[in-house]
Amino acid sequence: MDWMNKLERKFGKYAIPNLMYYIIILYAVGFVLDIFAPSFYMQYLSLNAYAILHGQVWRLITFIIQPPSSSIWFMIFTLYLYYMIGRELEYAWGTFRFNLYFFTGVLFHIIAAMLMYFVLKVSLPVGTYYLNMSLFFAYAALYPNHQFLLFGILPIKVKYLAWIDGAYFGYTILQAFLPAYGGNVLGGWFYQANALAAFVSLLNFLIFYLSSRNMRRFSPKEVKRRHTYHKEVNEGIRNQEQYADGAKHRCAVCGRTELDDATLEFRYCSKCNGNYEYCQDHLFTHEHIK
């Protein structure tokens, strides 16, 4: 995650707080637009590589407003679900990492549309359905045992829904290579476009997940503990020691501080008798002080 830390230190100030709130507003605008002008999105706003290369560059952004459903009731449910997932991911990862994940998915969709145009010689709109589903994969990776009520009645853990969605993604990608689907001249383009959108969304999740080597720090328990700690510090509940050299954190094992390495993270151990603080390398390996 060193590269993410470097990016966050350099570009973190540009991250958009509560990003999913604004995305939900865009979806709502897209839904209203779809009611009053059903063809306007496809004609002027969708991710169409041919139109983009001929001057309609606003499509690189406006394609995001495609609503996830044309049904008002399903739309309300979906927007609430997306907002909840986005809020939890931003809470767990931080504003910058959530922004990076979402906009990397957007970039991959743009690349997919361009590849389809230059390689397959077709220009079909690439929608946002799989982009949103990649958010669900990330949520399932962080909260696998969280339960949803399927159809409002049947409780089911998120990890099982993620496996079902993963199988759906796999089948969508496979369709592009099946003669009955991808082999058809006109229909094949449609399935190839869906397959490419599913692939880049899945790729975005895998890259982000595999590059996050220390996923323990994003677990719900650790996130809650970290936020509680920062709250106590800000409220003055925890009396934080100020060392002579100006450091605020010092590992009780190796003695390193944040002045030695700005990327070091420090935590207090709840099992030690006293306020002993440890760096990330010794938090789980030190001998507890009784």
pLDDT in tens, 130-184: 888 888 888 888 888 877 776 667 778 888 888 888 888 888 788 777 665 544 4
| Contact of 52 with 59, CB cutoff 8 Å | yes
Q: Which residue has the higher pLDDT, 131 or 221?
A: 131
How confident is the model at residue 185, as a pLDDT? Answer: 47
Q: In sequence order, what are the residues at sequence separation of 6 or more whose Cβ sits closer than 8 angstroms to the Cβ of residue 82?
A: 20, 23, 24, 27, 68, 132, 135
Q: What is the mean pLDDT of residues 186-212?
A: 73
Residue 123: pLDDT over 60: yes
How confident is the model at residue 222, as a pLDDT? Answer: 60
Give the integer Cα–Cα distance in Å for 98 and 16. 9
Q: What is the mean pLDDT of residues 27-46?
A: 88
| Contact of 105 with 204, CB cutoff 8 Å | yes
98-to-15, 104, 129, 197, 206 alpha-carbon distances in Å: 9, 10, 18, 20, 15
| Contact of 268 with 277, CB cutoff 8 Å | yes
What is the residue type of 235?
E
pTM: 0.65
Q: What is the mean pLDDT of residues 213-235?
A: 56
Which sequence spans correspond to the domains of the chain?
A: 2-214, 220-279
Question: Quick one: CA torsion of 89, 90, 96, 99, rounded to 10 degrees?
Answer: 70
Residue 37: pLDDT over 80: yes
Q: Does domain 2-214 have CATH number 1.10.3470?
A: no
Give the integer Cα–Cα distance in Å for 241 and 284. 22
Question: Which residue carries 């151990």 as its tokens?
Answer: 269
